[in-house]
Chain A
Amino acid sequence: MRITFMEKAPLLSVQNLNKCYCPAEGNVVKQVSFDVQPEEIFALLGPSGCGKTTVLRMIGGFEPPESGCIALNGRVLVDDRTWIRPEKRGIGFVFQEYALFPHLDVRANVMFGLHHLPKSERPKRTEEMLGLVGLQKLAHRMPHELSGGQQQRVALARAMAPKPQLILLDEPFSNLDAVLRNETRDELRTLLKEAKMSAILVTHDQEEAFSFADRIGVMQEGHLEQIGTPEELYYEPHTLFVAQFLGKTNLFFSEAHGHVANSPVGNISLKHATEGGVLVALRPEHLDIQLVANTDAVHAEVIAKAFRGHDITYRLRQNGLEFWVHTDNRRHFKVGDRVSVNPVEPGVVLKKATENTDTN
């Protein structure tokens, strides 16, 4: 169940952020703006080197931006005249490599940030946090005696212990194995939601962003390309990059006439009316295929099939154009079968139509 928060004042507001490490190489972060609502989990998604970690470090206060403004709860953290030091921001940070204090045991690591509490209350809060992440029994272990998953939970408990309003997570799952990753992800989401904390997750894994975040900002080469809920981004990508980065997509050069586009696989309806040559994106599961008996009819040929458990991916060719179709796992076709193709959902017109016809 996802909720929209638009009516509330944002917790974090980032406006026109720019960052440049080296003038010769240009800005690594360009005019990035977004808001994070109270209790919202936001993800910055993009390929490595797109500037997402730099944005996170600027919010945390570990890098000064060239220009732009960051505000938390209406309090300016950074703008042209202001610089609030990281320790004054009250923002938690979990690093990719966890960065546990190697000279302190688990308990001391978690207690580290509780200096604002009276001495007598610190152990209680520490125990509470250790209980929350299930590490009471390992309280006296040193960081090097812990597994990756355990270290991750210590890092998290340590960041959450002082109850920051916002936690920044820099690829926190990337050092975990796949099973542990899914488990930890769900656990962490539940923990954050129960604690009513907001979080920003930085990741290059779209599946991770989809299942973890309430809203996602997709970044490429320093730009924020699009912000939206996972569903919005998946079903209505604005650009070619977003369409392709968030899973398989079919791209068709088409002639648009109002709400209909003439594509090589037939007419595709469009959500928003437009005219002229456009690039239409359509998800593979939004195409339906049927066997055709009559070989004279317009048809596509099945050229590859991949059984994926809960669904099947077919690769088809029609008029020299190749594309994908997902069907449920009960609909079997053979390689070489002739099939008719019918779009079952409206297509999306991408903003920047390029000559690229690669349908990855």
Chain B
Amino acid sequence: MKNQRHTPFWLLSAFLTVVMLLPLLFLLRNAFRSDEGALTEVFSARTWALFSDTSLLIAAVVVLVVILAFPLAWITTRTNMPGRKVLTWLAVLPLAFPGYVMAYALLAIGGDYGMSAQLLGVAVPRLTGFWGACIALTFTLYPYLFLNLRTALLGLDPAIEESARSLGMSVQKSWFRVLLPQLRPALLAGSLLVALHVLGDFGVVSLMRYRTFSFVLYQATEMSNAAAVALLALIPLTMTMFMLWLEARQLRGLRLDTSSRATKRRFRLHEMGGFKGVFFLISGLMTFLTVVLPLLCVGFWALQQNDTTNLQDLLISLWTSALVAWPAALGAAFFALLLAYRSVRHPSRYTRIFERLSYMGYATPPIVFGLAFVAFALEVLPFLYQTLVLLIFAYIFHALAEAIGPIRSALFQASPRIQEVARSLGFSGFTAFRKVTFPLLKRGLLMSMAFVFLSIMKELPITLLLAPIGFESLAMNVWQYTANANFSAAAPFALTIVLISSVFVGLLLYREKA
């Protein structure tokens, strides 16, 4: 009397478990081999300072991102603000700037030889350290929360807010009593995403020379004491687990689809009135800071560059980056669809565990994730160490959670009844899925593939740790040249990354509109 076939899900889950957990277990084992020297090295005041510095940066960036993203998401979805479409575009555009490119731009503006000094004759101080890292991360990460909130806002049923109004609640009150609680999952998930990004960020903090766990761990890989490195890596790993646990607790049992989802009406848009001017000013300034200025800076330095061998390197690394990003995007979307479908439609304790597990690869700070893969490959699969296969697998499991998000949201919005109707009309489970649920997931799938492709094209720390010798991605070039303060050599690579990412952001927005 079985109506569900569990086997494919279980096979996939077992596979995922192995790929996700084994490397981390090897890291754990290495940590347990710590001798006294390693222990005293790790359990010290320096580690405590590292912990508080890292936490401070996370808190600051999350707060700034919420302040930036929330009003922007609301205004572009719920008001009659002229130019909402353009504003949406502009708010997503910073996705085209990976953290280290933003850091590059901020660094290359100031200083005695910076763009400002050369163009305007004014040497502004170079932004580094905490504020440099904080600003670069805020600018690059706020689109994540913005997109999360936007999707949530567009998916809400107007009848719910209208009911609140009809129950005598003012607009302002219904904001807090009805709108915010409905947005809570998106707000939490988005903030968590940002926090995890900050914890895991390597590019920005290494270039800004602000010491967080990722930066220190990367420097430590050059040291010989593998046990101490593994032990230190457990701290950000624990922080990650804590954040995931927090999110799991907050989101438990939330189902956000309403019965009339497939046929709901559109929201009536709010009048912006006198706030238009203020908002234009603010969003104009934001656009200038997060998009125009970095672009200007990269462009300026690219023009300073006239070495042709650099161009040849550029083409080679462009090809190599794309070569690994495509299979990773496809693989991640495929696994994500299987996992998300199971966990949305047939939720159980196990699906929750496996979904959490998929988050692990993403949430684990990339440096830690990379270190774990290195430890694992060296002992178990030495023939795969420093091969593209291992790199692509690492990418897939690193990006899986990014791929799940949009698919999950789309699944939540596609009523399970629709598929049941298709089955009652004589289609098997899989065909019913393909014919009616899949078309409704297309947007989500596309979103998820674009996200993965984007993030792999600009991925830095895992590539640094796992890439085959001679493999030089665009990101590696930008980082290396910037670290050496060779801004003009880094510029063409940075510009290429920005251009490719922009194309995908454009595609993403275009598809969303259609």
Chain A neighbourhood of B428, CB < 8 A = 85, 87
- Do B1 and A83 touch across chains, with their CB atoms under 8 A apart? yes
Chain B neighbourhood of A209, CB < 8 A = none
Cβ of B436 within 8 Å of any chain A Cβ, yes or no, is yes
- Do B260 and A97 touch across chains, with their CB atoms under 8 A apart? yes
- Do B3 and A61 touch across chains, with their CB atoms under 8 A apart? yes
- Do A83 and B3 touch across chains, with their CB atoms under 8 A apart? yes
| Total inter-chain residue pairs, C-beta < 8 Å | 99
In Å, the complex CA distance between A89 and B423 comes to 9
- Do A99 and B423 touch across chains, with their CB atoms under 8 A apart? no
Cβ of A64 within 8 Å of any chain B Cβ, yes or no, is yes
Q: Known contacts being A100-B262, A103-B440, is A112 close to B3, with CB within 8 Å? A: no
Q: Known contacts being A87-B424, A95-B417, is A144 close to B263, with CB within 8 Å? A: yes
In Å, the complex CA distance between A79 and B439 comes to 35
In Å, the complex CA distance between A60 and B423 comes to 9
In Å, the complex CA distance between A144 and B266 comes to 11
Count residues on chain B whose CB falls below 8 Å from chain A CBs: 26
Q: Name the residue in A80, A93, A116, A151 with the highest tally of chain B Cβ atoms < 10 Å from its Cβ.
A: A93
B1-17 to A contact mask, C-beta < 8 Å, 1/0: 11100000000000000
Q: Is the interface of B mostly helix, strand, loop or mixed?
A: helix
- Do A99 and B415 touch across chains, with their CB atoms under 8 A apart? yes
* Chain B nearest CB, measured from A153 CB (Å): 14
Q: Known contacts being A62-B420, A97-B417, A102-B262, is A80 close to B1, with CB within 8 Å? A: yes
* Chain B nearest CB, measured from A143 CB (Å): 6
- Do A87 and B423 touch across chains, with their CB atoms under 8 A apart? yes
Q: Is the interface of A mostly helix, strand, loop or mixed?
A: loop
- Do A89 and B424 touch across chains, with their CB atoms under 8 A apart? yes
Chain A neighbourhood of B439, CB < 8 A = 103
In Å, the complex CA distance between A112 and B3 comes to 23
Chain A neighbourhood of B418, CB < 8 A = 99-102
* Chain B nearest CB, measured from A39 CB (Å): 20
Cβ of B432 within 8 Å of any chain A Cβ, yes or no, is yes
In Å, the complex CA distance between A100 and B435 comes to 13
Q: Known contacts being A95-B417, A99-B417, is A64 close to B1, with CB within 8 Å? A: yes
* Chain A nearest CB, measured from B279 CB (Å): 31
- Do A143 and B263 touch across chains, with their CB atoms under 8 A apart? yes
* Chain A nearest CB, measured from B437 CB (Å): 10
- Do A99 and B3 touch across chains, with their CB atoms under 8 A apart? no
Q: Known contacts being A60-B420, A62-B420, A99-B420, is A116 close to B426, with CB within 8 Å? A: yes
* Chain B nearest CB, measured from A69 CB (Å): 11
* Chain A nearest CB, measured from B473 CB (Å): 38
User: Which residues of chain B from 226 to 275 have any CB-CB distance to chain A below 8 Å in the complex?
Assistant: 259-260, 262-264
B478-504 to A contact mask, C-beta < 8 Å, 1/0: 000000000000000000000000000
- Do A86 and B423 touch across chains, with their CB atoms under 8 A apart? yes
- Do B424 and A83 touch across chains, with their CB atoms under 8 A apart? no
B317-334 to A contact mask, C-beta < 8 Å, 1/0: 000000000000000000
In Å, the complex CA distance between A144 and B262 comes to 7
Chain B neighbourhood of A99, CB < 8 A = 262, 415, 417-418, 420-421
Cβ of A82 within 8 Å of any chain B Cβ, yes or no, is yes
* Chain B nearest CB, measured from A340 CB (Å): 50
In Å, the complex CA distance between A82 and B3 comes to 10
Cβ of B422 within 8 Å of any chain A Cβ, yes or no, is yes
Cβ of A223 within 8 Å of any chain B Cβ, yes or no, is no
Chain B neighbourhood of A86, CB < 8 A = 420, 423-424
Q: Name the residue in B262, B264, B422, B424 with the highest tally of chain A Cβ atoms < 10 Å from its Cβ.
A: B424
Chain B neighbourhood of A155, CB < 8 A = 421
In Å, the complex CA distance between A80 and B1 comes to 6
Chain A neighbourhood of B423, CB < 8 A = 61-62, 85-87
Closest 9 CB pairs of A and B: A113-B425, A99-B417, A86-B423, A93-B424, A102-B262, A97-B259, A103-B439, A87-B423, A83-B1
Interface residues of B (CB under 8 A from A): 1-3, 259-260, 262-264, 415, 417-418, 420-429, 432, 435-436, 439-440
**What are 18 A-B interface contacts by the 8 Å CB criterion?**
A60-B424, A61-B3, A65-B1, A83-B1, A85-B3, A86-B420, A87-B427, A92-B424, A93-B424, A95-B417, A95-B420, A97-B262, A99-B421, A101-B422, A102-B418, A113-B426, A143-B262, A158-B421
A99-B415, A101-B421 given; 4 more Cβ-contact pairs under 8 Å: A61-B3, A88-B426, A93-B421, A112-B435
